[in-house]
Amino acid sequence: MSAIICRGVRRNFGDVHAVDGVDLTIDEHQIFGLLGPNGSGKTTLLNQLQGIDRPTAGEVSVLGLDPIRDWSLLAPRMGTQLQEATLIPRLTVREALSTFASFYPHARDVDEVLGELGLTDKATSRVEKLSGGQRQRVFIALALLHDPELLFFDELTSAVDPRARHAIWDILRNLARQGRTIVLTTHSMEEAQALCDRIAIIDAGRIIAEGAPSDLIAEHAGGSRLLLRADGVVDEDALLDVDGVSSVGHDGDHLVVTGTGQFAARVMADLSAQGAVVTDMSMQEATFEDVFLALTGRTMREGE
């Protein structure tokens, strides 16, 4: 069943089309990622789904309800990531959770939630003393206190180190296995690829691709990527016509060509025919980075 349906959702801020006509269906019991560069509209769209902000146009249905009109019915069923400022630094972790638990008529047992998040040994630590990863786990714990079926997280792991990030991924996978639906924003390709069941790639307020990560890679990025540097003028449009090539773009000072089969040898031959001298080359398996490159002609880091 669908947890979320968006039809023609738009959100304008003056002349800025932050969300520019989004149609989207998110099924239950999965981890769904909104992936896109800074400023692409992820947070604005997430705010429409949570009933925090009203769309300029279009319709949003969450668990069959309207997130603004039916907010009082939806709030007990949705878990939202609180802002950093809502945590009082001098409270202990258990005190912070108990405080928020007291707002709910049927809150879960705080120690049970602490255990689920691997925070039992931090229960008496002050929030201000926690590491970035532990703090994010407290935010997940706070969102779980009323046992919601749908969870929203905005850039949950962007400021934590890789180990803590992997621990958080395990927690989110576990929450999805319990039958919860998780919608998150990220600008990490790695996170999208490793964690999400399905992804919508957002660019300039529009969804430019949607699907399972492996399907998106197969569909848009082919099998491999060829990275190279070349002296001389390269006719990139001509490379796009080479048999097996799916995209041509740039990553820093490298030219990146993705494709399938024996495309690399043919690209090298084409470059040679163009008179370009290849000074450096390597081959890699295609990643999500290549999906974005294939769809937009640029890397997600460009312009950030």
Ligand X SMILES: Nc1ncnc2c1ncn2[C@@H]1O[C@H](COP(=O)(O)OP(=O)(O)OP(=O)(O)O)[C@@H](O)[C@H]1O
Which positions touch ligand X (CB under 6 A)? 13, 16, 18, 36, 38-44, 187
Measure the CA–CA gap between 174 and 29, rounded to whole angstroms. 11
Closest CB to ligand X among residues 116, 203: 203
**Which among 98, 96, 181, 81 has a CA at the least distance from the CA of 130?**
96
CA distances from 23 to 48, 107, 207, 213 (A): 13, 34, 8, 19
State the nearest-atom distance from the C-beta of 47 to ligand X, in Å: 8
- Positive or negative, the Cα torsion across 232, 235, 240, 243? negative
Closest CB to ligand X among residues 185, 247: 185
State the nearest-atom distance from the C-beta of 213 to ligand X, in Å: 19
Closest CB to ligand X among residues 20, 270: 20
Measure the CA–CA gap between 173 and 301, rounded to whole angstroms. 27
State the nearest-atom distance from the C-beta of 43 to ligand X, in Å: 3
State the nearest-atom distance from the C-beta of 49 to ligand X, in Å: 12
Closest CB to ligand X among residues 47, 247: 47
Measure the CA–CA gap between 154 and 52, rounded to whole angstroms. 13
Closest CB to ligand X among residues 16, 57: 16
Task: Report DSSP letters for 173-225, one per residue.
Answer: HHHHHTT-EEEEEE--HHHHHHH-SEEEEEETTEEEEEE-HHHHHHHHH-SEE
Closest CB to ligand X among residues 39, 211: 39
State the nearest-atom distance from the C-beta of 42 to ligand X, in Å: 4
State the nearest-atom distance from the C-beta of 165 to ligand X, in Å: 16
For residue 262, the 8-state DSSP code is: T
